């Protein structure tokens, strides 16, 4: 993500994204159309991980192809170094920046994932990660699988938006605010805000299985990707160390519940996550040493959250098993 640190040492994320939308309006510049777009992601990135999860839960694999960047990038761009020859097999480019420059030859901002690319033109349509997943839920409904869950149900949207906003500002972005703080004062304030929010979430989830309503929604997807990275990266690397996730009983049980739900834990690549943060952020980790821990097997231990009721997929069903071509590499998950 493109970002900066202000003179007070406070981390500021650049939130000015390419906000063009892909909609179900056939007259739109970019209408929903099977096979027309490619979702470019990196498993390491929490914002991209959301899009991987939502695409899988909704069963859009046949209509929206996916391209995986490697876990590290240089100052210029995410790269396709996991693919043969280091070139995306569909877009035929080695760097995601090539698709951004197709959209705008003078594109001045960070080259970010997730990004939706128009395969016909090779140009990025949008990198607005928050709107992107909502549109997959609301604009792509004609192509959802049978039994796809309602991740953004209309009666709950105001509450989902409200909860998701606090999760974004205080938790998703809060860990970065602590990790990239350029002064003690900025770090102290970020640390306090983060753990205040985590305490609020623990209280909210103490007697309900999911964040909004009794099923998994967009709000849960947004929180999960930060929790999945918490002990492996944010606790040490970003100095978010009041508690480990494993020391927060409610959030740890909630995170395991989601991790063990098809479509969540099977998208998490802990090896790539650690490679990304510890190798790319040389200002924080100049030695580029990647920690061996933590023990990941505990993600698969019983969580007991079923006792709270709730129906993970509502009236829907779990997604099909992950396709072979999209599976997390053996040894990279918690198993």
Q: Residue 9 has what pLDDT?
A: 73
Question: How many residues are present in the chain?
Answer: 335
Q: Residue 3 has what pLDDT?
A: 61
Q: Which residues are catalytic?
A: 45, 176
Q: Which of 55, 16, 53 is nearest to 38 (CA)?
A: 55
Q: Which of 224, 309, 296, 253 is nearest to 54 (CA)?
A: 224
All domains of the chain, ordered by start, with CATH?
Answer: 3-143 (3.40.30.10), 154-326 (1.20.1050.10)
Backbone dihedral angles phi then psi of residue 3, each to the nearest 5 degrees: -160, 175
Which helix (DSSP H) or strand (DSSP E) does residue 221 occupy? helix 218-229
User: What is the rounded distance in angstroms from the CA atom of residue 116 to the CA atom of residue 125?
Assistant: 6
Q: Over 60: is that where the pLDDT of 176 sits?
A: yes
Residue 1 pLDDT class (50, 70, 90 cuts): very low
Q: Residue 284 has what pLDDT?
A: 94
Match 């009236």 to its residue by tokens.
315
User: What is the rounded distance in angstroms from the CA atom of residue 144 to the CA atom of residue 138?
Assistant: 10
Q: Residue 259 has what pLDDT?
A: 98
Q: Calculate the average pLDDT of the chain.
A: 95
Residue 14 pLDDT class (50, 70, 90 cuts): low
User: What is the rounded distance in angstroms from the CA atom of residue 216 to the CA atom of residue 214?
Assistant: 7
Match 């043969």 to its residue by tokens.
84
Strands laid side by side in the 37-42 sheet: 65-69, 37-42, 115-118, 123-126
Q: What value does the mean pLDDT take over residues 37-59?
A: 98
Q: Over 50: is that where the pLDDT of 117 sits?
A: yes
User: What is the rounded distance in angstroms from the CA atom of residue 226 to the CA atom of residue 119?
Assistant: 30
pLDDT tens, residue by residue, 251-296: 999 999 999 999 999 999 999 999 999 999 999 999 999 999 999 9
Q: Residue 73 has what pLDDT?
A: 87
Q: What value does the mean pLDDT take over residues 144-173?
A: 98
**Percentage of the chain surpassing pLDDT 70?**
97
Q: Over 60: is that where the pLDDT of 2 sits?
A: no
The response to whether 78 counts as a known ligand-binding position is yes
pLDDT tens, residue by residue, 195-208: 999 999 999 999 99
pLDDT tens, residue by residue, 62-114: 999 999 999 998 778 999 999 999 999 999 999 999 999 999 999 988 899 99
């Amino acid at each position: 993500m493109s970002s900066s640190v202000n003179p007070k040492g406070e981390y500021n994320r650049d939130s000015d994204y390419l906000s063009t939308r892909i909609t179900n309006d056939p007259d739109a510049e970019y209408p929903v159309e099977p096979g027309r777009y490619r979702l470019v992601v990196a498993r390491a990135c929490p914002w991209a991980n959301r899009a991987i999860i939502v695409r899988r839960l909704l069963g859009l694999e046949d209509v929206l192809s996916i391209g995986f960047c490697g876990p590290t990038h240089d100052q210029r761009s995410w790269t396709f170094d996991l693919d043969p020859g280091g070139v995306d097999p569909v877009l035929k480019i080695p760097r995601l920046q090539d698709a951004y420059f197709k959209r705008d030859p003078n594109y001045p901002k960070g080259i970010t994932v997730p990004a939706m690319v128009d395969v016909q033109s090779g140009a990025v349509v949008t990198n607005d990660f928050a709107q992107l997943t909502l549109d997959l839920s609301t604009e792509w409904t004609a192509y959802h699988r049978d039994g796809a869950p309602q991740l953004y149900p209309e009666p709950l949207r105001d509450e989902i938006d409200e909860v998701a906003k606090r999760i974004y500002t205080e938790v998703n972005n809060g860990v970065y605010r602590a990790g990239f703080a350029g002064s003690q004062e900025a770090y102290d304030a970020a640390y306090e805000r983060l753990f205040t929010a985590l305490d609020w979430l623990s209280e909210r989830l103490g007697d309900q299985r999911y964040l909004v309503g009794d099923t998994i929604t967009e709000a849960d997807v947004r929180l999960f990707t930060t929790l999945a990275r918490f002990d492996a990266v944010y606790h040490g690397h970003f100095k978010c160390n009041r508690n480990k996730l494993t020391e927060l009983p409610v959030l740890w049980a909630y995170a395991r519940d989601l991790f063990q739900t098809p479509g969540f834990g099977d998208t998490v690549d802990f090896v790539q996550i650690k490679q990304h943060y510890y190798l790319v952020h040389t200002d924080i980790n100049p030695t580029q040493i990647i920690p061996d821990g933590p023990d990941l097997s505990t993600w698969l231990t019983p969580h007991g959250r079923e006792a709270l009721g709730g129906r993970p997929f509502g009236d829907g069903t779990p997604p099909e098993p992950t396709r072979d071509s999209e599976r997390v590499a053996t040894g990279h998950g918690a198993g």
